Structure 1
C-alpha cells in the first residue's frame, strides 16, 4: 500500500513539475518585457474573502489589467469568470472594479461563462477570436492557465501582478497543486471542453 501511495504521489509531483517547467518562460512580472497584444484575459476570482474583506488577489488582477491597458500593452480587456448565481457575478464585479480605475466600459468585454480556467482560456480563442493574448492572474494560477493555452496551440503569455500584501494561503497552494493534475487529465484523458460555448463574438 505504501509503495502505491508513494508512486501516486510521485506521479502527482511529476505532473506539477511538468506544468511549472513547461510554462515558466511564458510568465512575466515586468510590464516592459511584454509584447503588446490586442487582448488581456483577466481570470475571475471573488472580490471579497469569505470573511467579507477585500480579496487582495482580485485587487491585484484589476490593478494589473488597468496598468497594462494604460501603458498600451493591451488594447482591450476580457474579464472571464463565474456567473452561476444572481448573488455571485465575477465578470460584473471585475467590470465595476475596472470602471473605478478609470477604464471605459467600451474597452471591457464580459465573459459570463468562464466557469473554470479551461473555459476562460478556450473561450478567449474560440468565442472571442483571440489566438494570441496575455493572461492576467497570480503566478501560481498562471502556470495552469498557460498549460491549457499551450495544449490548444495558442500564443499566450502570462502577467503576474506585483506580490500580494498577503502570502498565498496553504489551502490555495494545495488546491492549485491538485488542480494542475486535474488539468492534465482534462486535456489528455477526458478531452474536456468548455461547459458553455456559443456563437463567435470577435473582439
Structure 2
C-alpha cells in the first residue's frame, strides 16, 4: 500500500512538472512569435521587398538538402516575378555538413538566378546572427525572409529586433516526418527560449567581420 501511494505521488508530481514545463514553453513560444503577427505570408501573397534573406541549413555533398532547397525555391520565385531584386544567402561556410554558402549560391545559379544579384554572408551562424549581420553589415532595412513555418515567427521577430522591416514567407520542405517532428521539438524546447533571451539581452554577432566596415550598406 505504501509503495502504491509513493508511486501515485511520484506520477502526480511528474505529471504536474510536465504540464508546468509545457505551459512555460508555450508561453515563451507565444512571446517570441508576437512581433511576427500579421507578417507571415505564402509565396503567392508575399509582399515585394528589395531583398529576400535565405538562412542556411544542412547541405549534403555540396548541394542543399530538402529544407534548404525549400527556402531557396522561395527566393527563386520572388526574384523571377520581380518581387525581390537581390538575395542574401546567410549561413555557415564552414558548417559541419559542408559549405552552406557555396551550396546555396550554386543552387540559385542552377535555377536561373544571376550571380550579380546574390550577396553572401558566410558568418550567419544562427538566425540571430543572420538577422543582425544583415542589418549591420549589409545595410538591409526592408526585406522578406524565407524559411519553414515552424521557424518563421522566430526569424521575423529576431529580424525586427535587429531593426529590419521584415516579413516572412513560408517555405515548403519535402522532409520525412521524423525530420519535421525533430525540428519542431527543437524549435519550441531550445530555439525559442534562446531567442527570447536574445531579444531582451541583445549581444553582438559572434563574428563581427564587416560590422561597420567597407561591406556595410551594400544591400541598403
Shorter-chain TM band = 0.7 to 0.9
Residue 34 in 1 paired to residue 50 in 2? no
- Are 2:200 and 1:182 aligned? no
**Which piece of structure 1 moves more, 61-70 or 85-94?**
85-94
Residues 20 and 100 of structure 1, relative CA distance in 2, 3 Å threshold: same
1:171 equivalent among 182, 188, 201: 182
1:15-56: CA deviation from partner (whole Å, max 9, x where unpaired)? 11223354242110133x22211111001011239xx99721
Give 1:15's aligned residue.
Answer: 28
Residues in 1 aligned to 2:63 and 2:132: alpha-carbon distance in whole angstroms: 31
TM-score (structure 2 length as normaliser): 0.81
- Counterpart of 1:196 (choices 207, 211, 216) is 207
Distance 2:174 2:134 in 1: 26
User: Distance between the aligned counterparts of 1:53 and 1:93, measured in 2?
Assistant: 5
State whether structure 2 residue 72 is matched by structure 1 residue 72.
no
Q: What corresponds to 1:43 in structure 2?
A: 55
Q: Confirm or deny: 8 A CA contact 1:42 1:137 kept in the other structure.
A: yes
Per the TM alignment, residue 161 of structure 1 is displaced from its structure 2 partner at its CA by 2.2
- Which among 150, 158, 181 is matched to residue 148 of structure 1? 158
Mean Cα deviation higher: 99-108 or 162-171: 162-171
**CA distance 1:86–1:10, shift in 2 (3 Å):** closer
5+ residue gaps, structure 1: none
Post-superposition shift, 1:186?
Answer: 2.0
Whether the aligned pair in 2 keeps the contact of 1:80 and 1:110 (CA below 8 Å) is yes
Give distance in 1, aligned partners of 2:175 and 2:18.
36
> Aligned-pair distance for 1:80?
0.2
Structure 2: gaps of 5 or more residues:
1-12
DSSP 3-state at the match of 1:14? helix
Q: Secondary structure at the match of 2:151?
A: helix
Q: Aligned to 1:82, which of 84, 88, 92?
A: 92
Tell me, in whole angstroms, the C-alpha distance in 2 between the residues paired with 1:101 and 1:136: 16
- Structure 1's consecutive aligned runs of 4 or more residues displaced over 6 angstroms after TM superposition are none
CA RMSD, 1 decimal: 2.5
With normalisation by structure 1, the TM-score equals 0.87
Contact 1:29 1:162 (C-alpha < 8 Å) held by counterparts: no
